[in-house]
Structure 1
Amino acid sequence: MTITQQNINITSKLLGRDVTLTILKPEEGDIAEPLNLLLLNDGQELENLGFINTLETLYNTHRIKPIIVVAIHADENRIDEYGIAGKPDFKGRGGKADTYTQFIKQELLPQLENLTGFGEFDTTAFAGFSLGGLSAFDIVWNNPAFFNKAGVFSGSFWWRGKDLAKGYTDADRLMHQVIRETKNKPSIKTWLQTGTKDETSDRNKNGIIDAIDDTIDLISEMEAKGFSRLNDIRYVEVVGGTHNTDTWGKAMAKFLVWAFGR
């Protein structure tokens, strides 16, 4: 299957800036079934992730269904636009996360048919890395009418409302709070990856790094809402995996097969 690549800029009135998108799609003649959609935060990292090579390999071995990938490039506003909508962290980071969510729903998704030639998709997923993973998860969690799958690589689930030095407890983790406060279980499936060398921090001194602890605790919160480890959640722990595009690129095939596998 041949993949076409197109870089385009769209103007976001909400974000007050131009947003660069990299759109990857199969050649029209290669599409003989319903298409799927993947939105990807930190789209500027596609090359470092080896993303196109991974996609081609999976297509050529008939392991995934056809996908349109819309990779959204971040810029210097990343730390404000990514995060949890309406819940900046203790330093005020993520203050525009709610605006970024509205950009996705009100500006990007309505333009997709215009941009790609396709408006209906079988599976619609949103994925990201680190803070972009937190953003993707938050958007999918709160918008199951738009998305049915989330992919999170080394997600920043430490995102907290209180400084460690000012009486922090695990209850101050904001995404965990959002899950606890959600009344109805959203109809979504989630893929979560951590690396055993994502970081060295260990807040509670239990011998397990925070990146893993925070992700496992998030899964527990989801299970308390009725999610099933067997059917709704896939957790991948990469031994020796680090907090960078090298590890995430190597894990990408597992995510794509999980989300869009034949």
Structure 2
Amino acid sequence: MKSIFTFVPFKKETKMYWGWAEIEMTITEKNITINSELLNREVTCTLLMPDEEELTEPLSLLLLNDGQELGNLELRATLEQLYSTNRIKPLLVAAIHAGEDRIQEYGIAGKPDFKKRGSKADIYTEFIVTELLPQIKAQTGISDFETTAYAGFSLGGLSAFDIAWNNADVFDKVGVFSGSFWWRGKDLAKGYTDADRIMHSVIKSTAEKPDLKFWLQTGTKDETTDRNKNGIIDAIDDTIDLIKALEDKGYTRPADIQYVEVVGGSHDTATWAKAMPKFLSWAFGR
């Protein structure tokens, strides 16, 4: 397998406070371009991590779908604020930029929706596990991370959940912002029932209980659709029902599942940026 790496370094200094001591930390940014044989395209991945020379404790890893939205998510500023107040442990963020075929690469592996979207989700999963992660470890020289998490937004959140669910030997935690848990195998106009929601069915049909922890977020203005006319938007209904499916599998709240509902939150990067500190503090907090 051949991979081409292009590095664009960027450094910015921030200050961290450990007790009464003031310690400066440098955040380094590198863009990596991987020539993926599986996806048959180049994949850009932005790495954000503290300077290795300044690390005094183990590093964690966060994979992030839709990495092209880093700027809109204000992730750098969020990391700087959390580091400066000593709220999170050091982590490497690997933000994977989506390609033009996003709607086919994201989704649920081996289970396209009723419009045949997500047809390459199984290939994308294989890319993450067999191409991307080895390249990240080779590039950073870090073979073992304290915590490995995967997160995403909307359809990218569904993708992150599915990949973590099927690879619990690789991932410890998963974060989903406004996840597309409506993803279904049947059209609403052709006899749809709640049993046609694919991720819920996958959870129910999985024999084992993957060793994972979950952080889920919705916004009260994620959408306006209300399929069952119960006065609750589908985004919230689908997420709550997914939590119930997880509880039926044996997971408990709050030990295994955290749910954040943003009042007035919309289906956009501005809302997800506001929720990001809560997720990072949950996944990598001290």
TM class by smaller structure: over 0.9
Corresponding position of 1:47:
71
- In structure 1, the residue matched to 2:167 is 143
Give distance in 2, aligned partners of 1:82 and 1:112.
Answer: 20
The partner residue of 1:239 within 244, 256, 263 is 263
Paired residue secondary structure (2:57): coil
The amino acid that maps onto 1:255 is F
1:105 aligned to which of 116, 129, 141: 129
Which residue of the partner structure matches residue 36 of structure 1? 60
The equivalent residue for 1:88 is 112
Question: TM-score, normalization: structure 2?
Answer: 0.91
The Cα offsets for residues 202-222 of structure 1, whole Å up to 9 and x where unpaired, read as 000000000000000000000
Deviation at 1:117, TM superposition (A): 2.3
Query: Partners in 1 of 2:98 and 2:119 — Cα distance?
Result: 15
SS in 2 for 1:2: strand
Work out which of the residue numbers 122, 141, 145 in structure 2 matches 1:121: 145
Structure number with bigger Rg:
2
CA deviation profile, 1:199-258 (whole Å, cap 9, x unmatched)? 000000000000000000000000000000121000000000000000000100000000
Among 214, 218, 238, the alignment partner of 1:194 is 218
Number of residue-to-residue matches in the alignment: 262
Q: Which amino acid aligns with 1:214?
A: D
Give runs of ≥4 in structure 1 deviating > 3 Å. Answer: none
- Partners of 1:2 and 1:60 in 2: how far apart? 11
* Superposed displacement of residue 35, structure 1: 0.5
Greater relative contact order (Cα < 8 A, sep 6+): 1
SS in 1 for 2:132: helix
Return the letter of the residue paired with 1:74: A
Q: Give 5+ residue unaligned stretches, structure 2.
A: 1-24
Shift of 1:75: 1.6
Q: Which amino acid aligns with 1:126?
A: Y
Matched AA of 1:60? S
| In 1, Cα distance between equivalents of 2:146 and 2:274 | 25
Structure 1, unpaired ranges of 5+? none
**Identity among equivalent pairs (%):** 71
- TM norm structure 1: 0.99
Taking the aligned partners of 2:207 and 2:249, their CA distance within structure 1 comes to 9
Secondary structure of 1:63's match?
coil
RMSD: 0.6
Query: Is 1:157 paired with 2:181?
Result: yes
